[in-house]
Each structure stands twice: as C-alpha cells, then as structure tokens.
Structure 1
Amino acid sequence: MIDKIAKTVQSIEILFGTLFISIFFITIIIQVFSRYLGITVSWTGEVAMYSFTWAVFLGAGAMTYEDKHFAFTSLRDRVTGKKREMLNIFLYLIVMSFTLAILYYGVIITMKFWNYRWIDIPQMSMGYTWLCVPILGATTTLYCINHIVTYVKRFRMEA
C-alpha cells in the first residue's frame, strides 16, 4: 500500500520537476534572445532561478524513491542477508532524520518568507519559492518510510 502511494507521489514529483526544468530552459531562451535583440526582460532571472530550484528539489526527492540519492555504499555492498537489511534500515533511519529536519525547517522558512515578494514580479510571494523545501522533506520522509518497510519485510523473509 505505502509503495503504491510512494510511487504515485514520485510520478507527480517527476512530472512537476520536468515542468519546472522546462520553464527554466524556456526562460533562459527568452533571456538569450531578449539580450540579443536589446530588449529588457527583467523577470527572466528570477523565474529561471526559482524554477531551477524547484526542479532540483523535486528531482532530489524523486531520486530518494529510486535509491539513487547520495550515499556511501562500500559497506552496504560488502554485507549480505540479514546484516545488509539491518544496515539498510539503519541508513534509512539516518536519512529520515535529515528529511524530517528538512520538513520541519522548510515549513518554518516558508512561513517566514510567505509575505515577502519577488523583486521583478511583486505579485508572487516568496513563500511559493520556499515551498519546495517542505515538499522535499515530506516526500523524502515518505520514501524513507517506504524503503524501511521494504527492508523490514526482507529481513523477516530471511528468517
């Protein structure tokens, strides 16, 4: 059940990550052509920066689901069986402690900057910019729980 939820959330995360990276590239193209034509398009810098930020944070979450996040695998590759499953559980508990901190502090920073405005597009709240941080924390926590459940099941099967 949790794996199906995690897979659905990851698909949505990849979809939105792709959308934001596309916005980034389109904005960069607009920026290049506007400079070539001598036209000032001041909003492109902020849109490019914040859309890239969203793409990176959403991509980082999606990679946690696929177990392709930053990790030291030399010890994990050397052990097998129950020891490996216990090590995987331990490692994901460590990762989850960080993801919970990202979620907690992401909510705080989003709330703090909610009433701040973009410079070139003052209609946009900076809160939307920072919202990607607690989303990353929530999704990666979900993915960690999913992995822990999987490793616990494998551990029990080894018995």
Structure 2
Amino acid sequence: MLAGSAGLVSVPVIEGQEKRPSDPWTVAQTIQPAELASELGDKGGTPPAIVYVGFRTLFVGGHVPGATFHGSASTEQGLSDLKKWAEELPRTTNLVIYCGCCPLEKCPNIRPAFTMLDKMGFKKLRVLILPTNFATDWADKGCPIQKGM
C-alpha cells in the first residue's frame, strides 16, 4: 500500500497563479496579462480601475493604459497616498493593482498594497500576475503601453 497516495487530487494550476504562503491573495483574486488586456480592449464593458503600486520612474517609462500612480506601496507615504485615494471609491469598484518592478515573489510593493486595500473592504480587488517583471510579462507580450504621467 502506498502511504499518502490515497485521496490526493491533482489540480492543474496556471503558471504564475500558484498560491504562495507569502501571498495574501487567492487565485480568484488574480488576473493574467492577457485577461486584463482583453478587459481593456472591451469597448462595451467598463474597464477596471488600475493602480500601479511600484516606483515612479518605472511608471513614467511605461505602464498599463489608464493606470494611476499614488506612490510606492513599500513606503509609508506611498501607502498613505494610496489609502487616501481609495477612501473615496465604492467598495464594489473593480480594482486591479500591479507592480512589475521585479519578480512577483520578491516584490516589496504589491503585498502591502493588496493587504491594505483588502482590509479596506474592496470586494473586486485583483492582482495582475507579472511573475518576472512588467517588461517581460506585459510589454514584451504585446500588451498595450502608455508612457509618462
């Protein structure tokens, strides 16, 4: 008899969507680049509110079209500015946050931003999954880019 083999179910997981112990979000609270690009291109739908939570220089160099920047979420000032902006939003806002400054598993910005917004009660909060970085996982895949502030 093989110990431990009974009752195990193999569940396929999309690359980059694994739930890591350090991730405060669930798989259902994530969105892949192609999915977000599709939502942005849907002329009949309402696009999500998109917030870049990384570093200003990277935002200026290129970001998801329509994204806003309220400071780096790895800093107290950045989190404070993000919270001030978010306080005015209905908690049912379709909200996508992303960084892409570095590999997602090491990102200093995305987890503090998600945790704060989740605690504020946002019901449709999602994280854009960029496993490597914004350039590799978004720009190089042909997704739309906006430059500047």
TM-score calculated relative to the size of structure 1: 0.28
More helix by share: 1
Structure with greater strand share of residues: 2
TM-score between both structures, scaled by the size of structure 2: 0.29
Structure 1 or 2, whichever has the larger Rg, is: 1
